[in-house]
């Protein structure tokens, strides 16, 4: 029996409708984005975020800066957005050009306006079990698991990938849902020994097809966060044959991707509520 498809698009549409109502109730929310340089992929991501934000009734500011901007100048621009009482949420699109310290720029964003959830204060709150502003992709993964009523309490969960943006926050959220969590990464030996134990497998390695069907426990829930462009089109980190083994599987595209943008909008509403007490 083929795995049930975990439809991220449908859930994301419902979340965006809820966000639209919240924005209306708040009297408006303003999201400011900062894009440095002319990276094509980053430009696409920013445009999609603005389209979604505007459709939900946000006021959106799109700040474009040249790749030649100095780090002190960029920090001044971020400080100005922090001080702007009309701005509720700030997003600095990554990656930044060479010569700019990304960690320093992330730390410069007001933690209450940190819509990405990357600031060390928000990361620390998550680590301590007090999640406030959580990276949107991680938030989206947990929302999908809850939507499809996947049992997490006592489950064995394996996360492949340890980035601060996806892998680590997903692992922390799973642990807080009472799963027993293992994090695997590029230095993990015998990866399949771990993945075959997983009741819930989240793959966020950024490597096309790194997890094959024979690495998946029969009946497991598989969340594929990865997306790569190949000659065959867009593919995930999990081989599509996983549908013959898993009980639930996210499609690529159409799974985690739409959830990331929807949950980013949720975070922007959280920012607005934090700032308004």
CA atoms of 95 and 66, how far apart (whole Å): 14
* Residue 219: alpha-carbon gap to chain centroid: 25
pLDDT tens sequence across 242-258: 999 999 999 999 999 99
Q: How far apart are CA 40 and CA 30, in angstroms?
A: 25
Of 88, 110, 116, 239, the active-site residue reads 116
Rounded average pLDDT over 170-176: 98
| Alpha-carbon gap, residue 166 to 188, rounded angstroms | 18
For the residues 134-154, what does the mean pLDDT come to? 98
Q: Residue 28: pLDDT above 90?
A: yes
Report whether pLDDT(77) > 70.
Answer: yes
Annotated active-site residue 39? The verdict is no
Preceding omega of 144 cis (within 30 degrees of 0): no
The answer to whether 14 and 65 are in contact (CB under 8 A) is: no
The mean pLDDT of 46-50, rounded to a whole number, is: 96
Q: To the nearest whole percent, how much of the chain has pLDDT over 90?
A: 95
Mean pLDDT for the chain?
A: 96
CB of 254 closer than 8 Å to CB of 7: yes
Position 221 scores a pLDDT of: 98
Per the annotation, the verdict on 112 as an active-site residue is no
Distance in angstroms between the alpha carbons of the first and the last residue of the chain: 50
276 confidence band (pLDDT: 50, 70, 90): confident
On whether the CB atoms of residues 80 and 90 are closer than 8 A, the answer is no
- As a whole number of angstroms, the distance between CA 184 and CA 194 comes to 8
Q: Is 49 a catalytic residue?
A: yes
Per-residue pLDDT reduced to its tens digit, 206-254: 999 999 999 999 999 999 999 988 887 889 999 999 999 999 999 999 9
Mean pLDDT of 148-177: 98
* pTM of the predicted protein model: 0.96
Retrieve residue 170's tokens. 């997903």
Active-site residue identified among 88, 93, 168, 172:
93
**Does pLDDT of 195 surpass 90?**
yes
Total residue count of the chain as it appears in this document: 277
Q: Give the residue-averaged pLDDT of 5-27.
A: 98
Number of H helices, E strands in the chain: 9, 11
Predicted pLDDT of residue 1 = 64
What whole-number distance in Å separates Cα of residue 30 and Cα of residue 57?
A: 9
pLDDT number for residue 236: 95
The neighbour count for residue 172, using CB atoms within 10 Å, is: 21
């Amino acid at each position: 029996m083929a795995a049930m498809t975990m439809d991220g698009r449908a859930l994301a549409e419902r979340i965006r409708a809820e966000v639209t109502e919240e924005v209306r109730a708040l009297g408006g929310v303003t999201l400011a984005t900062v894009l440095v340089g002319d990276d094509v992929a980053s430009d696409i991501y920013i445009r999609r975020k603005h389209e979604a934000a505007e459709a939900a009734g946000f006021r959106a500011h799109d700040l474009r800066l040249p790749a030649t901007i100095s780090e002190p100048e960029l920090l001044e621009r971020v400080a100005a957005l922090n001080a702007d009482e009309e701005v509720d949420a700030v997003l600095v699109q990554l990656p930044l050009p060479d010569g700019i310290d990304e960690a320093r720029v992330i730390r410069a964003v007001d933690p209450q306006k940190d819509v990405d959830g990357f600031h060390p204060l928000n990361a620390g709150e998550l680590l301590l079990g007090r999640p406030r502003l959580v990276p949107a992709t991680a938030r989206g993964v947990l929302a999908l698991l809850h939507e499809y009523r996947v049992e997490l309490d006592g489950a064995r969960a394996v996360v492949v990938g340890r980035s601060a943006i996806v892998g680590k926050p997903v692992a922390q959220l799973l642990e807080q849902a009472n799963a027993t969590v293992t994090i695997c990464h590029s230095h993990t030996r015998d990866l399949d020994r771990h993945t075959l134990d997983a009741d819930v497998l989240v793959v966020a390695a950024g490597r096309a097809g790194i997890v094959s069907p024979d690495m998946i426990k029969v009946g497991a829930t598989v969340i594929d966060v990865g997306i790569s462009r190949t000659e065959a089109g867009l593919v995930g980190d999990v081989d599509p044959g996983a549908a013959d083994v898993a009980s639930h599987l996210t499609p690529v595209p159409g799974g985690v991707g739409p959830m990331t943008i929807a949950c980013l909008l949720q975070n922007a509403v959280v920012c607005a509520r934090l700032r308004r007490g």
